[in-house]
Amino acid sequence: MSVSSAIGVFDSGVGGLSVLHHIRQTLPHERLIYVADSGHVPYGDKPPAYIEQRSHTLTRFLIEQGADAIVIACNTATAAAVASLRSQFNIPVVGMEPAVKPAVAATKNGVVGVLATVGTLESARFAALLERYGEEVEIVTQGCPGLVEQVELGELDSARTRALVERYTAPLLARGADTLILGCTHYPFLAPLIRAVAGNDIALIDTGAAVARQLQRRIQAELPERQTGDASVQFFTSGDAAQATRIMSVLWDANTQARQLPRESM
């Protein structure tokens, strides 16, 4: 291989950078390649077959760039595509799912709220999670149309974003939820705003750290001879490269430069 091994990470947009932060902390010496599929964001309102097709396209691109492990840094894409990706590609594929189990452990009053995309809430994977843990606590769900788009715009604390957060958290808080699951990788970037709206006594749960640990375990178990990369990070987008660079510079690092995906992956 002409380039060092790498971990490939993709999301519908920039939200997966919240997971990439945890991956970098857990695996500081790895070469990372991140794809924001912002030309097709949001995934939450699109058919599962469409999301599955995009997931395969992006995975093939990442493997071509040297990735020998893939992280689907998107709950909706995990629900739609993780099974078929694992069947087609003989490399570790790590997905996301709403952190119902740790939320059940965290709640004190037995009421857990879930903020997620409609696509995640309607998925079979989420239904299985509810069936597994729903008898232990009351789980209240809330679809959040528009929140992903606000993060994609870099509006983490605008009046419109605050209004959406207030609208979506209100029913969960009214039901008594003391724990909120951030069921989309975009939402951790809104955690300060969500906490400001919901109060400091509310526990916020996301799965980024757990995904990074699972990735580390999979690499150690399945790729024991693998050489680590050069600790670099590359960014690609199917959207506007200048816009992606601007937002990623806020969410990741001021020196971030996003490149356009090649036409065949757009």
Single-letter code of the amino acid located at 181: I
C-alpha to C-alpha distance for 28 and 101, rounded to whole angstroms: 27
Are 126 and 103 contacting, i.e. CB atoms less than 8 angstroms apart? no
C-alpha to C-alpha distance for 72 and 211, rounded to whole angstroms: 10
Q: List C-alpha distances in Å: 65 to 12, 31, 125, 202.
A: 19, 11, 30, 41
Exposure string for 186-225, b = 16+ CB within 10 A, e = fewer: bbbbbeebbbebbeeebbbbbbbbbbbebbbebbeeeeee
In what side-by-side order are the strands of the sheet with 93-94? 93-94, 67-72, 6-11, 32-36, 233-237, 258-260
- Residues known to be catalytic: 74, 184
C-alpha to C-alpha distance for 185 and 73, rounded to whole angstroms: 7
